[in-house]
Structure 1
């Protein structure tokens, strides 16, 4: 059984792969909704290429209008990868915001300076040393890297790993999360990991077509993990690929 922590690590570990995939050629052997899905991916690749050519043509026209402009031409962007990253990151960061608001304790307050009459120089020095120690503790607590922050580093990998620490009860400036909070993290993590795996085509998948085989049997589609999709009839045993029947 896949755990929430595994889902969160999937997002964190493959985030760099998503960044690289934004400008990479489309995986034409990716898993789809049956063999029609394979053809749909071919159409998608053509559409992405046309979109790229449209942007490139606009860029070239801008250079014609202003000959002094220099720079690299635009690269093709795989919009479904970009959409996946935006969706997953927004969900994870929002979840971390809410969990931190409820479970993360406030930083230790810095002790205020006060005037006092000390009976001896030694007593004054002890009090000063204690104030300095408390100030150092407060500063360290405020800058604890295990704290979730509402400004600064708010990326999907960081949010995933911070939420993973909450799931695994890692020590930090947070109380133990509740069962409801753990369920919410689990839902967000599972959805994020599924989106990442679909976008990168790194998960094996199986689906059943609505249309039965000519023999009346059920047709299962197997694919994913970068492999070409195959169709298999559970009735007659026939196997198809996008090129036609390969076994009967």
Structure 2
């Protein structure tokens, strides 16, 4: 069984690839290159259509060049994952992060007050503390922070409970699944359902991912299709 720490490490490793994919140039007619290429070609189609609509509504001479993100699908995936991880870190920090050492009051002995104040300021500024002040951190940064909590690294924190670690694990698994789907690095399979039966009446299963050419197979008669047509029956 995959542990929460392993899942977080996978997410941390894949994040630079996801960031790079944000700038990948889409390729027309890329269905035969696998699901990632096919999705990229759809992104390009959407971008071209959006540009055409803007050209009808606005005068480019007034607004200047306004580039379109190369992969809206990757961008949306990154933002969704970052938001989910940040929310997870907020909940975790509220449960296990120790409160900073309070500043000394005027009733503290003068000789000890400066030392106590310095310790309080240092504790408050501890870089290991989770801070979320309106700007969502990168997914990799938050995953690293959550990994440190799961591994019990030193810092102003209490140990995670079993339920808290399970919660982090569920968020991490969902994030990894989304990254693998958009990068096309995981095998995928799903049934088309009753609305799309084979001519024989059997259920059709679609396979793809990990760079492989997508194909479909009938679980009834065994017919096999790719984008080139029927290759076995």
TM > 0.5: yes
- Determine the C-alpha separation between the residues in 2 that align with 1:24 and 1:54: 23
Query: Aligned residue for 1:142?
Result: 124
Q: Residues 81 and 175 of structure 2 are in contact (CA less than 8 Å); yes or no, is this contact kept in structure 1?
A: yes
Per-residue CA shift, 1:198-234, capped at 9, x if unaligned? 2222211112332454455553322112322122344
Q: Residues 169 and 176 of structure 1 are in contact (CA less than 8 Å); yes or no, is this contact kept in structure 2?
A: yes
Q: Flag the 1:173–1:153 CA change in 2: closer, same or farther, 3 A.
A: farther
The runs of 5 or more residues in structure 2 that have no matched partner are none
Q: Residue 85 of structure 1: CA displacement?
A: 1.8
Q: Residues 52 and 77 of structure 1 are in contact (CA less than 8 Å); yes or no, is this contact kept in structure 2?
A: no
The alignment partner of 2:59 has SS state of helix
Q: Flag the 1:226–1:244 CA change in 2: closer, same or farther, 3 A.
A: same
Q: Flag the 1:103–1:115 CA change in 2: closer, same or farther, 3 A.
A: closer
Counterpart of 2:86 (choices 93, 106, 112) is 93
Count matched residues. Answer: 225
Q: Residue 138 of structure 1: CA displacement?
A: 3.3
Alignment pair present for 1:232 and 2:217? yes
Q: Residues 23 and 75 of structure 1 are in contact (CA less than 8 Å); yes or no, is this contact kept in structure 2?
A: no
Q: Flag the 1:52–1:19 CA change in 2: closer, same or farther, 3 A.
A: farther
Q: Residues 7 and 189 of structure 1 are in contact (CA less than 8 Å); yes or no, is this contact kept in structure 2?
A: yes
Alignment pair present for 1:198 and 2:181? yes
- Determine the C-alpha separation between the residues in 2 that align with 1:30 and 1:98: 38
Higher relative contact order (CA 8 A, sep 6+): 1
- Determine the C-alpha separation between the residues in 1 that align with 2:89 and 2:56: 40
TM-score for both structures, normalised by structure 1: 0.72
Q: Residue 94 of structure 1: CA displacement?
A: 1.2
The runs of 5 or more residues in structure 1 that have no matched partner are 33-37, 117-126
Task: Please give the root-mean-square deviation of Cα atoms over the aligned residues, in Å.
Answer: 3.4
The alignment partner of 1:228 has SS state of strand
Structure whose CA Rg is larger = 1
Query: Aligned residue for 1:209?
Result: 192
Q: Residues 103 and 116 of structure 2 are in contact (CA less than 8 Å); yes or no, is this contact kept in structure 1?
A: yes
TM-score for both structures, normalised by structure 2: 0.76
